[in-house]
Each structure stands twice: as C-alpha cells, then as structure tokens.
Amino acid sequence: MLMAELEKHIRSKHLTQKQAAERFGVTQPRISDLMRGKISLFSVDTLITMLTHAGLKVDVRVRRSAAA
C-alpha cells in the first residue's frame, strides 16, 4: 500500500525518477526499485519517510483482528 501510493504520486505528478529521488531524499536507483515493485528492499520506515518528503500525510492504525 505504501509503495503503491508513492508510485501513484510519482505518476500523477509526471515526475522523472531523478526528480522523484531529489524530492524524496533518495537516489534514482532507489526510485527505480520502487517503480519495479521490489518491496523487499524497503522498510516501512523508509517508505513513510519518502511519503512525508513527497508531502503526503501518513496515518498508522492498529486494530484487533476479527479472530482475536
């Protein structure tokens, strides 16, 4: 979900990978990994930081599962 939101933001703003990298505070190869869906290369913390740099607000919620 976090990766999908970043990818959607990049596409909606018509950013190049270089532009996205500069805005999100990462390297262009990191944006390439993101756009290719390499989820195992990203921590939740990194994705939240990138979303914040993109100017997006992140809300985290914790709920009990139906089975609990």
In a domain, 17, yes or no: yes
Q: What is the pLDDT of residue 67?
A: 75
Q: What is the pLDDT of residue 19?
A: 97
Which residue is associated with the tokens 């999100």? 24
In a domain, 13, yes or no: yes
Q: Is 29 left (phi over 0), alpha (psi -120 to 50) or beta?
A: alpha
Neighbours of 31 (CB within 10 A): 24
Number of domains in the chain: 1
Give the CATH number for residue 8.
1.10.260.40
In a domain, 60, yes or no: no
In a domain, 18, yes or no: yes
Q: How far apart are CA 61 and CA 14, in angstroms?
A: 30
In a domain, 10, yes or no: yes
Domain that holds residue 25: 2-53
In a domain, 64, yes or no: no
Q: Would you place residue 66 in the very low, low, confident or very high pLDDT band (cuts 50, 70, 90)? A: confident
pLDDT single digits (tens) 8-60: 999 999 999 999 999 999 999 999 999 999 999 999 999 999 999 999 999 98
Q: Would you place residue 68 in the very low, low, confident or very high pLDDT band (cuts 50, 70, 90)? A: low
Sequence-distant (≥ 6) Cβ neighbours of residue 7 within 8 angstroms: 34, 35
Q: How far apart are CA 28 and CA 18, in angstroms?
A: 5
